[in-house]
């Protein structure tokens, strides 16, 4: 003999569990807590902005034959030219107020004894003090120039490295 006196309680139990579950679902979906471990999300966005800007600057206007703006800036050490073009690309946005991304750019090259060295290329108006949460992007280029340790003008593989941060 099965006693079925408790059926209403069972239904009530199911209803209560559904309500609990729904509440838990809404709570989990409705809020997101931004923890220090999540900073890589905004960092990734800044990195994408920076590498896209460098990739655009390393594209020749006619596609192939002429030098890219980035190659020209590095070959001539044109700090002001790099700064103005790079800031223009990364800080422009819809509307009148520009974004406040700052940068510091270095060029890394290889000396004849196979050691590497980085020299200053350009920066924005603010200096990097060390407290900023900066990200790092880079762009490979082939340039035709001399380096401080070697007077020979020849093709060289160099790496433009840019540190980016929001001010």
Partner 1 sequence: MARLNEDAQWIVLMGFIVSFSLFFLAIVLNQSVVVGQTTAEAVSEFPKDDIRGVRDVVIQSVFMDALNKTAVQREIQTIALTRQGSVMSFSNTTDGIHTFLDFHYNNGVTAYNETWIYP
The pattern of x and - marking residues 50 through 79 that bind partner 1 according to CB under 8 A reads: -x---x------------------------
Under the binding rule (CB under 8 A), the answer on residue 9 touching partner 1 is yes
Under the binding rule (CB under 8 A), the answer on residue 109 touching partner 1 is yes
HEC profile for the chain?
CCCCCCHHHHHHHHHHHHHHHHHHHHHHHHCCCCCHHHHHHHHHHHHHHHHHHHHHHCCCCCCCCCCCHHHHHHHHCCHHHHHHHHHHHHHCCCCCCCCCEEEEEEEEEECCCCCEEEEEEEECCCCCCCCCCCEEEEEEEEEEEEECCEEEEEEEEEEEEEEEEEC
Among the listed residues 23, 40, 64, 134, the single contact to partner 1 using CB under 8 A: 40
User: Residues in contact with partner 1, total (CB under 8 A)?
Assistant: 38
Residue nearer to partner 1 on the CB measure, 48 or 84: 48
Under the binding rule (CB under 8 A), the answer on residue 132 touching partner 1 is no
């Amino acid at each position: 003999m099965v006693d079925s006196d408790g059926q209403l309680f069972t239904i009530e139990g199911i209803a209560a569990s559904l309500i609990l579950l729904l509440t838990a679902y809404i709570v989990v979906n409705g809020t997101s807590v931004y923890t220090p471990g999540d900073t890589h999300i905004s960092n990734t966005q800044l990195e994408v902005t920076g590498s896209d800007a460098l990739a655009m600057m390393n594209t020749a206007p006619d596609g192939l034959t002429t030098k890219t703006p980035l190659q020209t800036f590095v070959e001539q050490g044109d700090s002001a030219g790099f700064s103005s073009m790079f800031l223009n690309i990364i800080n422009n946005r819809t509307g009148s107020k520009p974004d406040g991304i700052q940068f510091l750019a270095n060029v890394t090259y290889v000396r004849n004894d196979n050691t590497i060295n980085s020299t200053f290329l350009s920066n924005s108006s603010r200096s990097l003090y060390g407290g900023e949460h900066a990200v790092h992007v880079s762009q490979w280029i082939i340039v035709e120039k001399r380096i401080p340790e070697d007077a020979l003008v020849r093709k060289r593989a160099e790496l433009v490295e840019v540190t980016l941060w929001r001010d």
